[in-house]
Amino acid sequence: MNDMRRKNYKRRRGDRKDGRLLRSLNPFYTFIPFIMKERHDATNYIKEQAEISATEEYLRQLRNEGYKGIGMLHFFIAAYVRIVAKYPALNRFIAGQRIYARNNIVVIMTIKKELSIESGEAEVKVVFEPTDGIKEVYEKISAEIENIRAQGDDNSTERVARMLQKMPRFLLRAAIRFFGWLDYHGWLPTYLTDVSPFHGSLVVTDLGSIGIPPVFHHLYNFGNIPMFLAFGIKRRAYELNADGTVSAKKYIDYTLATDERICDGYYYAQAIRYFRLFLRNPKLLGKPPKEVVEDVD
């Protein structure tokens, strides 16, 4: 996987394969994971609405340029990548009751292999660079989806799932506990974390594609994902203007589930305000960021 660690950084005692231990945080952060031991203890839920007129216009422009099928999913992910480039603490995670800065940006999505009730689902796991814009996001997602669909039921995630499925229940319980113990100590093999849908920066679910509003999704206790984003169907709203006229606007609702242990509320608020900047000026996602901020030591 790609690596966004600072140049010349040497792995130190306490670091993991997927992240470096943060040693300079306020002491408050060091004991909070011992009080709120599980992610469900520390999950905060946020619901936002976004006016998407400018975003839809930009996406239409990109589709006319040949980016077939580009949509709100790509926009949300590109905006997240850009936010992490400025606010890297969003890409921290808790493991073994310690806080780590993740080495890369890993976004996980669930896709239907076909749009039918009978069709199965597949996990798509894509690694991004903090300098990626919406075009790079589109290309990487498209390539990974094409790869998953070409593999069919023989992709890595499903192979591991089938192997575990064959175990008797008592062995499966023991195996999951053992995996959790390995993960707590940072010893889970890389080939498992690479295919695991429970290890990454963000999970995104596009519920608009199946015609429903966004849910408030929980965070998983297993693994180390600190954030879950769900967005729903587009909707129209009629609003009264200052001159007394009424105009129709288009909105999309989205929800976030966040692990409050990785950074404080003010930091999250600043990141959400930064996201709103891209809603007003979506073409900013077509350019690389002016600066990539590194997390603390």
The domain ranges of the chain are 19-153+191-286
What's residue 165's pLDDT? 85
Task: Please state at what angle helix 134-151 crosses helix 72-86, rounded to 10 degrees.
Answer: 120
The structure tokens listed for 149 are: 């669909």
Tens-place pLDDT, residues 190-248: 989 998 999 999 999 999 988 999 999 999 999 999 999 999 999 998 888 888 888 88
Tokens representing 251?
């909105």
Mean pLDDT of 131-150: 92
Q: 19-153+191-286, superfamily in CATH?
A: Chloramphenicol acetyltransferase-like domain (3.30.559.10)
Sheet containing 43-51, strands listed edge to edge, beginning at the edge strand earlier in sequence: 43-51, 246-259, 227-240, 202-206, 105-112, 121-128
Q: List pLDDT tens digits, range 13-48.
A: 889 999 999 999 998 888 999 999 999 999 999 999
Amino acid identity, residue 60?
A: R
Backbone angles phi, psi at 195, to 5 degrees: -100, -10
Based on its alpha-carbon atoms, the radius of gyration of the chain, rounded to whole angstroms, reads 20
What are the CA-CA distances from residue 92 to residues 56, 70, 87, 243, 263 (Å)?
A: 31, 28, 10, 47, 8
**Percent of all residues in the chain with a pLDDT value above 70, rounded to a whole number:** 93
- What percent of the chain has a predicted confidence (pLDDT) above 90? 75
Helices (H), the chain: 27-35, 53-64, 72-86, 134-151, 156-165, 169-185, 190-195, 265-280
Reported pTM: 0.91
| Better pLDDT: 106 or 248 | 106
pLDDT at 1: 46
Mean of the per-residue pLDDT values for the chain? 90
pLDDT in tens, 160-178: 888 888 899 999 999 999 9
**pLDDT number for residue 107:** 98
CA atoms of 106 and 132, how far apart (whole Å): 12
pLDDT digit string, tens, across residues 249-287: 899 999 999 999 999 999 999 999 999 999 999 999 999
CA 68 to chain CA centroid, nearest Å: 23
Q: How many CA atoms lie within 13 A of 240 on its CB side?
A: 2
Give pLDDT, residue 225.
97
